[in-house]
């Protein structure tokens, strides 16, 4: 069994939230007023009783204040909202959970209606075809449990409450990624409502160019109402955690950094230094401690799994939970925070991680560090992630050996400011090994989305965006621009 280590800190109000009175005094958009009472699905405007609850993204450290929030429940209601928003000369930001909303908020939301699909959570599993069909607001937990009942697994993320749509459109790195690749390339069909209110199906045969763009191109093309994706005959895996005190970070990180690039494709792991809070959710033996964690999964037999991690296990971890576990349990293996959480973060794609990078990493978060970061993480790439996926979409592979990710809790403005500073410091000291590319699903701050793609892919994405949304109705968190905007050719 895997150790149930929760990284969730006590919930508090967003550090940037204003009082209810201040929120109610915010001027309403006259154009948004035309949406009031629209159809059976709820529309909330500033000053309405439910606006403040409806506008909150998953990361409640962000002050997301759109012109309105719409919460349709059906495809027909989505179409109705889209047509009404376009008629009102406003724009639309599709959103399910609001993970990674930072880049969206940074763009400004005064003329934007956030369209939340969180009420659309239906899931159907076809065990014969090994295909899951999920509605646009479904979370990973909604799919992994019913798939597991049939001995099947999806290429899910590291948290059960991440929205499937946003995760999949942006790439998707899961515990089988080095064997099976990015989740986006296991999508077999996507249904969405376009800027003219039309409901389209995109797959390898219908709207194939749009299907290509959606697989890795993000949320700039329409409101996703359903996705279909492959499931895999994985009933269990050899998975778990190895945990050491932070004082042993140097030998553990050096061993892992040398082992990871040449490890077999059947294993996918991450390395983290965690500064665990002294809260009841954390097991007493780890409460308030700084520890090193390597977690991951191996596809194959127990003997094969033990052989793969033998070099890591030889470092005598204090806690070792690796063993045979049901595949459905892996959605909580990483113990990411669940539920609305105030977080600040930064990330970087790394071409490699030599001894000098180990030194730089440990100088910021290793033994003796006073960093405020809750976690400093390195995700293992390579394997199928580094090879072009045949028939894949706009994001066929990730050109790097590791992704670095740093995050801190932001329970107060002061905590948020310090956490941002420390997260940026970590990625800055790792910049000599960065390759200039971004994994946009981990880029939770304003980021040039061009860094997620090669030049040819970027140009193709802009062309498809221009064709499907010529008037720029949709606002993605990592926005793909049109070829011509406001009379100017975009770069």
**Per-residue model confidence as pLDDT tens digits over 457-490:** 999 999 999 999 999 999 999 999 999 866 676 7
Query: Mean pLDDT, the chain, as a whole number?
Result: 92
Q: What is the pLDDT of residue 430?
A: 98
**Which helix (H) or strand (E) segment is 114 a member of?**
strand 112-116
Whose CA is closest to 277, among 2, 3, 5, 7? 7
Tell me which of 3.30.70.600, 3.40.462.20, 3.90.1280.20, 3.10.450.50 is the CATH number of domain 237-442: 3.40.462.20
The predicted pLDDT at position 27 comes to 53
Task: Return the pLDDT at 160.
Answer: 95
pTM above 0.85, yes or no: yes
Segment 158-173, tens digit of pLDDT: 999 999 999 999 999 9
> What is the model's pLDDT at position 38?
79
Output the six-digit token pair for 467. Answer: 């064709």
pLDDT of res. 18: 40
* pLDDT on residue 281: 83
The pLDDT of residue 5: 34
Whether 2 shows a pLDDT value over 60: the answer reads: no
Residue 165: which H helix or E strand, with range? helix 164-170
What integer pLDDT is reported at residue 224 of this predicted model?
98
How far is the C-alpha of 97 from the C-alpha of 220, rounded, in Å? 16
What is the arithmetic mean of pLDDT over 274-283?
90
Measured between alpha carbons, how far is 94 from 231 in angstroms, rounded to an integer?
26
Return residue ranges of the chain for CATH 3.30.465.10: 123-233
Given a cut of 80, whether residue 1 has pLDDT beyond it is no
Chain region(s) in the chain for CATH 3.40.462.20:
237-442
The per-residue pLDDT for 223 is: 98
In this predicted structure, the answer to whether residue 113 has a pLDDT above a threshold of 80 is yes
Q: Alpha-carbon distance 383 to 178, whole Å?
A: 5
Q: What is the CATH number of domain 123-233?
A: 3.30.465.10
What pLDDT does residue 30 have? 80
Model pLDDT, residue 25: 37
What pairing do the DSSP bridges indicate for beta strands 402-409 and 112-116?
A: unpaired
Under the banding of pLDDT at 50, 70 and 90, the label for residue 299 is very high
Can you say whether residue 433 is alpha, beta or left, with left for phi > 0 and alpha for psi between -120 and 50 degrees?
Answer: alpha
- Comparing 30-44, 126-140, 355-369, which segment has the lowest mean pLDDT? 30-44
Q: Is the pLDDT of residue 52 over 90?
A: yes
Average pLDDT for 442-451: 96
3-state secondary structure of 6: coil
Q: What's the pLDDT tens digit per position in 11-45?
A: 333 333 443 333 433 456 788 888 987 766 789 99
Q: Match 């409450």 to its residue by tokens.
A: 161
Residue 96 has pLDDT above 80, yes or no: yes
Mean pLDDT, residues 375-380? 98
With 50 as the cut, is the pLDDT of residue 338 above it?
yes
pLDDT at 314 over 90: yes
Q: Indicate if the pLDDT at residue 10 is higher than 90.
A: no
Confidence of residue 231 (pLDDT cuts 50, 70, 90): very high
Q: pLDDT-derived band of residue 353, with 50, 70 and 90 as boundaries?
A: very high
Q: What's the whole-number mean pLDDT along residues 40-67? A: 93
- Return the C-alpha torsion angle 289, 295, 301, 305, nearest 10: -80
Encode pLDDT of 139-156 as tens digits.
999 999 999 999 999 999
pLDDT more than 90, % of the chain = 88
Residues 6+ apart with CB under 8 A from 145: 328
CB 403 within 8 A of CB 350: yes
Angle between helices 249-259 and 355-365 (to 10 degrees): 140
């Amino acid at each position: 069994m895997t150790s149930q280590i929760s990284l969730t800190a006590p919930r508090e109000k967003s550090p940037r939230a204003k009082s209810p009175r201040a929120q109610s005094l915010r001027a309403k958009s006259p154009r948004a007023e035309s949406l009031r009472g629209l159809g059976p699905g709820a529309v909330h405007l500033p000053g309405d009783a439910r606006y403040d609850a409806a506008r909150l993204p998953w990361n409640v450290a962000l002050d997301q204040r759109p012109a309105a929030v719409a919460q349709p429940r059906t495809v027909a209601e989505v179409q109705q909202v889209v047509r009404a928003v376009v008629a009102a000369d406003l724009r639309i930001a599709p959103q399910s959970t609001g993970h990674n909303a930072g880049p969206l908020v940074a763009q400004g939301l005064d003329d934007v209606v956030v369209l939340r699909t969180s009420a659309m959570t239906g899931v159907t599993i076809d065990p014969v075809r090994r295909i899951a069909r999920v509605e646009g607001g479904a979370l990973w937990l909604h799919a992994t449990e019913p798939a597991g009942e049939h001995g099947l697994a999806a290429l899910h993320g590291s948290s059960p409450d991440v929205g499937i749509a946003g995760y999949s459109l942006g790439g998707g790195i899961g515990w089988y990624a080095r064997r099976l690749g990015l989740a986006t390339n296991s999508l077999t069909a996507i249904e969405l409502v376009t800027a003219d209110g039309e409901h389209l199906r995109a797959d390898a045969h219908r709207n194939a160019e749009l299907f290509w763009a959606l697989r890795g191109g993000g949320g700039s093309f329409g409101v996703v109402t359903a996705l279909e994706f492959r499931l895999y005959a994985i009933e269990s895996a050899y998975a778990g955690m190895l945990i050491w005190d932070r004082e042993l970070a140097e030998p553990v990180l050096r061993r892992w950094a040398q082992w990871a690039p040449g490890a077999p494709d059947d294993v996918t792991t991450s390395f983290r230094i965690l500064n665990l809070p002294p809260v009841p959710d954390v097991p007493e033996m780890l409460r308030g401690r700084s520890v090193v964690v390597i977690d991951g999964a191996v596809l194959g037999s127990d003997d094969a799994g033990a052989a793969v991690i033998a070099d890591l296990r030889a470092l005598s971890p204090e806690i070792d939970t690796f063993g045979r576990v049901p595949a459905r349990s892996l959605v909580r293996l990483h113990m990411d925070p669940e539920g609305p959480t105030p977080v600040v973060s930064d990330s970087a794609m790394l071409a490699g991680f030599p001894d000098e990078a180990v030194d730089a990493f440990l100088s910021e978060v290793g033994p003796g560090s006073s960093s405020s970061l809750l976690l400093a993480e390195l995700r293992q790439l390579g394997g199928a992630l580094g090879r072009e996926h045949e028939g894949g979409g706009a994001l066929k592979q990730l050109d790097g050996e590791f992704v670095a990710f740093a995050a801190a809790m932001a329970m107060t403005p002061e905590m948020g400011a310090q956490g941002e500073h420390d997260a940026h410091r970590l990625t800055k000291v790792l910049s000599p090994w960065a390759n200039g590319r971004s994994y946009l699903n981990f880029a939770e701050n304003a980021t040039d989305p061009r860094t997620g793609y090669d030049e040819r892919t970027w140009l193709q994405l802009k062309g498809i965006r221009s064709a499907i949304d010529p008037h720029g109705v949709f606002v993605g968190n990592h926005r793909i621009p049109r070829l011509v905007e406001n009379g100017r050719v975009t770069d």
